Structure 1
C-alpha cells in the first residue's frame, strides 16, 4: 500500500494556494463521498484565535474520563499527520489513514482542492465509520468559510478568545475577525464564549441573537480564576474548587474555564471537570522537554517548548514566564513571514535576557533568522542568530549554565523539535 506521506504529498499539489477560504470545494467532495459529515457523532465545534487546541484537549479529557468515546480533529500536526485525526480515543492508524486519503483522492478526481479541505474530508469519512459518542472539531482558520464549517447541526459551539491574526485572510480589524469566528454559530445551538474584547463580543452576540443561539459568556454566565494554588470555576449551577491545569500558564485558566463550561452545558459535573484539567495532554504548549539531543546539549539548563506565534500568544507566554520561579530566560525563536513578529516579541521583552533567531527547517514561509533577529532588536530584546536550534541551545548552555531556555515562535518549529526530541 502507498504510504500516507506519499499520498499527502500528492494532495498538496491539487490546488496552487495553501489557503483559499471557501466551502464550494468542500461541499463538492463531501457530496461525492456520500456526505459523511451528516453521519458523524454529535459535534462540538471549537473556533477562536488562541486556545482552541488546549480547550478542545481539556474537553476531550473530561469526556473520556466519563467513559465516552470521542473523535477529535485538530490542526496543524506537530510530529506526524496522524495527530490530526483521533478516532474514539486513538490516533488514526497508518493503514486506515492511507486508505481513507486514497478514497478521497479518487472521489476528488483531480479537481482543485486545498490540502486542508481534502484532509478534512478524510477525517469526516473516518469519523462516519467508527462509532463514538462525540466529535470534537477544531476550526483550521477563521470559521465561517473554514472546511470544518459544513456541519449544519452541531451539539455545541465554543469560541475561545479572539484577537488579531491571519489578517490577510480574515480582515484587518477585530470585529471583522470576530465575524469570521462567529460564523460557526448555528441556529438554536448553544455557544460557549471565552473572554472577549468589547468589539469582538458585540459581533458574536449580534450573530447569536440573529440565530436565536443561546450564549454562555465568560465573566457573565461563568468565570474561572486561580486562587491559593487552585482553579476556581463558577456558573449559575454553583462553584467548583479544582486543581490547577497541568498545562502551565495563566491563559490555561481561561481555557479550562471554557472547557468546563462546555462540559457543564453537556450535562457533566465535577469529576469530569477535574479530569479536564488534570488529565489533559497537549504538546508544545509550554512543554518541558526531558529527553533527546537538545536536552543533552542544554546540560543543566531547563529546556521548554511553546508553539504560540501571534501577539496574544506572546502576551500569554510573557504572563507564564512572569509566574514561573525566577531564572534567567533566553529564547530560541523561529517564525513564519506571515506573522506579526514584533507584536509577538514585545510582550516578551521584559521577561527575557536574550534571543537567538533560527530558521524553521522545511518551512517555505520561514522568516530568515536575520529578519527575526532585527524584529527582536526592534522589540527591545538583545538578539543574535544561529544556523539551527541545536547550535543555539548549546551556545546558551555554555554562556549561562542553569538558565531557562525556551524554544518558541511557531508550531512548525515546535513540530520539528518534537520529531527529534519528543
Structure 2
C-alpha cells in the first residue's frame, strides 16, 4: 500500500528531527507564536493527563458530548495504525478522523513555520492539533497529554475548562521520576490557577495528595473520586453519584470494573467543564463508547481466522504494572462468567517493567508466547521477554509473531477441550500491528 500524503510528510519530518521528547515548552511556544497562536482560539478544552485511563476517559467524554448533540474535537496519542487517528474533527452527529489532504496541508504548514529549527516531531504534531482544531468549528476539545503533563507539548492551554487527572502509577521513570509522588507532580502540571480540576480514581494516596495540594494551592475548584463523586456496580447496573444525586446507568460498553471509575471521571469532568448533559445522553454514551485496543474483542479478521476455532481473542495495549492489574481483574471477571484457559501473547518495549506486568497474571495465565514488535526499534527481544515472564512465575516461550503464536496454539489444541481465551497485549505498538495485520484498523 502506498503511503498516504500526510504519512509521507510526517515520515520526512521524522528523518529531519530528533526522536523522543523534549521536556520543555519553549520550542512549541515559539512555533505556536509563529503560527498566530492557534491554541488560544479553541472551544472549551478538557485536558486529560494520567498514567492509565487517559484514552478511556477521552472516549467516554467524547461519547457523552456527542450523545448530547455537540461537535467535539479529540486529540489522542499515540496512534495505533495511522497518524490520522490522533485527530478526530468534530461535527454534528459525530466526528470523523481528519481527512488525509487536510492533515497533509496542516503538517506542511507547521513544518514551514518552524523553518528547520530544532524541534521534535511530537511538538510539530501538537501544533498541528491546534491548527486543525482552531480552524474547524466545534463545541469542545478533548486534549490528551502525550507524556507527563507539566512539560508536555499540549500544556500550553492557559485556561482549560477542566483539567482531568486519571490514575497515576510508575511509568516513563527515566523522564518523570522513580516515585509515584514525583510522577503525580508532573501530571499535576496541567493544573492552571483558578481552573476546575477533577481527579480520577487513585490507587496511591500519596499521588492523590500531591494533586489535591496543587489544586488547592492554585485556588482551583476541585472534585475528587471517592470524595466528591464515585461509581459502583449494583444489580448489573452502574450507579454514578455526585453532589447533585444519583444516576442509574447501564454498565459501560468498555469491559472491566475499572471502566466504571473511568466513566465516572469523564461524567464529572464534562459536568464540571460546564456542559449540561441530559441523563438520557449519559445512558446512551456509556453503551456506545468505543476505544480500540482497550479490552477490545476481536471477532473477525485474518488473525482471528488463524486461531483455535471459537477462541476468545482480546486485544489491550496496556503496558505497565498498573495496567496489568486492571486487565487481570477484567479477565478474572470474565472467568467468573465463563471458564476458559487463559493464554497471553505479549510484546513490550524496553522502557517498561515486564516482570511487574506479568506478575498481575501469575496464577491466571496458563502460558505466555512472547513476540517481537515490528513497528518499534525499542522492543524487548522476545527471548528476554520470555525470561521475564518465567521470572514472574508463568511458563513462556518466544515465537516470531502473533500469527505464529495463534497457529502454534491452534495446531496443538485438543478439539475436545474448551476453546482458549487469548489476550494479545503489552504494548500499543503491538496492538497497532495486530489491528493492521488483522485488517481491522480504527476508523
Give TM-score scaled by structure 1 length. Answer: 0.98
Q: In the alignment, does 2:184 pair up with 1:167?
A: no
Q: In the alignment, does 2:429 pair up with 1:420?
A: no
Structure 2 matches for 1:203-218, cutoff 5 A? 203-218=210-225
Gaps of 5+ in 2: none
Task: Tell me if the contact between 1:301 and 1:397 (Cα under 8 Å) persists in the aligned partners.
Answer: no
Q: In the alignment, does 2:328 pair up with 1:318?
A: yes
How far 1:234 moved relative to its partner? 0.4
Render the CA deviation track for 1:135-180: whole Å, top value 9, x for unaligned: 1000000000000000101111111111111100001111110000
What is the CA–CA distance in structure 2 between the aligned matches of 1:263 and 1:26, rounded to whole Å?
A: 27
Render the CA deviation track for 1:19-73: whole Å, top value 9, x for unaligned: 2211011001101111000011110100011000001110100100111010000
Q: In the alignment, does 2:260 pair up with 1:270?
A: no
What is the CA–CA distance in structure 2 between the aligned matches of 1:35 and 1:264, rounded to whole Å?
A: 28
SS in 1 for 2:377: coil
What is the CA–CA distance in structure 1 between the aligned matches of 2:29 and 2:300, rounded to whole Å?
A: 44
Counterpart of 2:288? 279
What is the CA–CA distance in structure 2 between the aligned matches of 1:65 and 1:33, rounded to whole Å?
A: 33
Structure 2 matches for 1:11-410, cutoff 5 A? 11-88=13-90, 89-196=95-202, 197-265=204-272, 266=274, 267-298=276-307, 299-324=309-334, 325-400=338-413, 401=415, 402-410=419-427
Task: Tell me if the contact between 2:294 and 2:318 (Cα under 8 Å) persists in the aligned partners.
Answer: yes
Give TM-score scaled by structure 2 length. Answer: 0.93
CA 1:385/1:105 → structure 2, altered by over 3 Å: closer, same or farther?
A: same
What is the CA–CA distance in structure 2 between the aligned matches of 1:260 and 1:399, rounded to whole Å?
A: 46
Task: Tell me if the contact between 1:45 and 1:158 (Cα under 8 Å) persists in the aligned partners.
Answer: yes
Gaps of 5+ in 1: none
What is the CA–CA distance in structure 1 between the aligned matches of 2:266 and 2:233, rounded to whole Å?
A: 15
How far 1:2 moved relative to its partner? 8.0
SS in 1 for 2:313: strand
What is the CA–CA distance in structure 1 between the aligned matches of 2:292 and 2:116, rounded to whole Å?
A: 35
What is the CA–CA distance in structure 2 between the aligned matches of 1:317 and 1:394, rounded to whole Å?
A: 24
Moved over 6 A (4+): none
What is the CA–CA distance in structure 2 between the aligned matches of 1:167 and 1:2, rounded to whole Å?
A: 35
CA 1:110/1:358 → structure 2, altered by over 3 Å: closer, same or farther?
A: same
SS in 1 for 2:360: helix
What is the CA–CA distance in structure 2 between the aligned matches of 1:115 and 1:67, rounded to whole Å?
A: 34
Q: Which moved more, 1:12-21 or 1:403-412?
A: 12-21
How far 1:16 moved relative to its partner? 2.4
How far 1:397 moved relative to its partner? 2.1
What is the CA–CA distance in structure 2 between the aligned matches of 1:5 and 1:221, rounded to whole Å?
A: 44
What is the CA–CA distance in structure 2 between the aligned matches of 1:274 and 1:173, rounded to whole Å?
A: 38
SS in 2 for 1:13: helix
SS in 2 for 1:29: helix
Aligned length: 422
What is the CA–CA distance in structure 2 between the aligned matches of 1:46 and 1:375, rounded to whole Å?
A: 32
SS in 2 for 1:212: coil
Task: Tell me if the contact between 2:375 and 2:430 (Cα under 8 Å) persists in the aligned partners.
Answer: no
What is the CA–CA distance in structure 2 between the aligned matches of 1:355 and 1:83, rounded to whole Å?
A: 30
What is the CA–CA distance in structure 2 between the aligned matches of 1:277 and 1:158, rounded to whole Å?
A: 18
How far 1:125 moved relative to its partner? 0.3
How far 1:263 moved relative to its partner? 2.7
What is the CA–CA distance in structure 1 between the aligned matches of 2:57 and 2:103, rounded to whole Å?
A: 25
Render the CA deviation track for 1:289-346: whole Å, top value 9, x for unaligned: 1222211111221111110000010001110100002110100000001101111110
Task: Tell me if the contact between 2:197 and 2:220 (Cα under 8 Å) persists in the aligned partners.
Answer: yes
Task: Tell me if the contact between 1:27 and 1:150 (Cα under 8 Å) persists in the aligned partners.
Answer: yes
What is the CA–CA distance in structure 2 between the aligned matches of 1:90 and 1:206, rounded to whole Å?
A: 38
